[in-house]
Chains A and B, each alone.
Chain A
Amino acid sequence: LAKTTQPISMDSYEGQEVNITCSHNNIATNDYITWYQQFPSQGPRFIIQGYKTKVTNEVASLFIPADRKSSTLSLPRVSLSDTAVYYCLVGFNSGNTPLVFGKGTRLSVIA
Chain B
Amino acid sequence: GAVVSQHPSWVICKSGTSVKIECRSLDFQATTMFWYRQFPKQSLMLMATSNEGSKATYEQGVEKDKFLINHASLTLSTLTVTSAHPEDSSFYICSARAEERAGGGYTFGSGTRLTVV
Q: B49–A43 contact, CB under 8 A?
A: no
Chain A: CB-nearest residue to B9: A41
Question: Which of chain A's residues have a CB closer than 8 A to the CB of B103?
Answer: 31-34, 49, 51, 91-93
Q: A87 on the interface (CB 8 Å rule)? A: yes
Q: B95–A43 contact, CB under 8 A?
A: yes
Question: Which of chain A's residues have a CB closer than 8 A to the CB of B60?
Answer: none
Q: A59 on the interface (CB 8 Å rule)? A: no
What secondary structure prevails in chain B residues at the interface with A? Answer: strand
> What is the size category of the interface that chain A forms with chain B?
20 to 34
Question: Which of chain A's residues have a CB closer than 8 A to the CB of B51?
Answer: 96
* B interface residues, tally (CB under 8 Å): 30
Q: B102–A87 contact, CB under 8 A?
A: no
Q: B43–A94 contact, CB under 8 A?
A: no
Q: A49–B43 contact, CB under 8 A?
A: no
Question: Which of chain B's residues have a CB closer than 8 A to the CB of A49?
Answer: 103-104
Chain A: CB-nearest residue to B91: A41
Question: Which of chain A's residues have a CB closer than 8 A to the CB of B109?
Answer: 43
Q: B75 on the interface (CB 8 Å rule)? A: no
Question: Which of chain B's residues have a CB closer than 8 A to the CB of A103?
Answer: 42-43
Chain A residues close to B by CB (< 8 Å):
30-34, 41-46, 49, 51, 87, 91-94, 96, 98-104
